[in-house]
Amino acid sequence: MEAFARPIPTLVICELLGAPYERRDEFSKHTALVFGTDVPPDERFAATQHVLGFIAEQVEAKRKDPGDDLLSDLIRHDVLTGEELTNIGMALLVAGLETTGNMIALGTFALLEHPDQLALLRADPALTANAVEELMRYLSVIHLGPIRTALEDIEIGGVTIKAGESITLSLSVANRDPEKFPDPEVLDLTRKATGQIGFGHGVHQCLGQQLARVELRIALPGLCTRFPDLQLAVPASEIELPEGASIYGPVRLPVTLNQTGTPRQTA
């Protein structure tokens, strides 16, 4: 996680926002707290305020010395308030780190647990884009929510949802709907997984989904081809997967990079 999965999206989002990468430790630990479902409300609020303060500082710095980055471009258009710029920057920073970082780690974990699929990806780079869609379907890092409110009475599956009532949707269950994806419990990188809703649906689709796809299409095959002997350093059953996080992913993912099985690095 610390050597590979988190640094990639952190570097990308810092480049996008024009934030200094060397200050990543200053905000990265707080972004994780923002998404923790078992984090006390006061700690989550404090973490949110810390990240907002960091972004507000970046916005002011860009006003004085704009650069070649998204925040500077938004400032140049001069249509957003400081609060709006800060909130946009906060959303991009927080959403761009935990989701993609965890997906890189989970994708690596899944491929190492399915060596036949990993072999397919290594043998055919043209499979990469399709593989990312299938991994997004199979894993669904956002497993809590989204929450939607009915604008009018509607019946779904024999249940009436009245106007004004709210429901919580399960993206992971929808992505394993056998009517949409035959044999949904099987990871198949050759499957046409178009229509998976790991990035949401309709007007609420993830704003950064194409950026995330690019990162995954580069990171996963890059790791697997550069280290052809990559394997888990511990049994899969020992990989800790936290229950108290709305963005799903392993706490640590120790791997070996050589045939001797000697742990040399952690991803």
| Residue of higher predicted confidence among 203 and 117 | 117
pLDDT tens track for 69-86: 999 999 999 999 999 999
Q: Helix 209-226 crosses helix 128-139 at what angle (to 10 degrees)?
A: 110
Q: What is the mean pLDDT of residues 7-11?
A: 93
Residue 35 has pLDDT above 90, yes or no: no
For residue 93, what pLDDT is reported? 86
Q: What is the mean pLDDT of residues 116-126?
A: 94
Q: Report yes or no on 136 lying in a domain.
A: yes
Residue 38 has pLDDT above 60, yes or no: yes
Total domains, the chain: 1
Q: Report yes or no on 193 lying in a domain.
A: no
Confidence of residue 260 (pLDDT cuts 50, 70, 90): very low
Residue 88 has pLDDT above 60, yes or no: yes
DSSP 109-155: HHHHH-HHHHHHHHH-GGGHHHHHHHHHHHH-SB-S--EEE-SS-EE
Contact 35, 126 (CB under 8 A): no
Q: Report yes or no on 14 lying in a domain.
A: yes
Q: Report yes or no on 198 lying in a domain.
A: no
Full-model pTM: 0.88
* Residue range(s) defining the domain that contains residue 15: 7-141+204-266
Residue 63 has pLDDT above 60, yes or no: yes
CATH for 57:
1.10.630.10
Bridge partners, residue 231, by sequence: 256
44 three-class SS: helix
pLDDT tens track for 122-152: 999 899 999 999 999 999 888 666 788 999 9
pLDDT tens track for 212-245: 999 999 999 999 999 999 999 999 999 988 776 7
256 three-class SS: strand
For residue 37, what pLDDT is reported? 72
DSSP 154-211: EEETTEEE-TT-EEE--HHHHTT-TTTSSSTTS--TTS--TT--TT--GGGS-TTHHH
Q: What is the mean pLDDT of residues 244-254?
A: 84
Residue 61 has pLDDT above 50, yes or no: yes
Q: Report yes or no on 72 lying in a domain.
A: yes
Distance CA 194, CA 22 (A): 37
For residue 267, what pLDDT is reported? 47
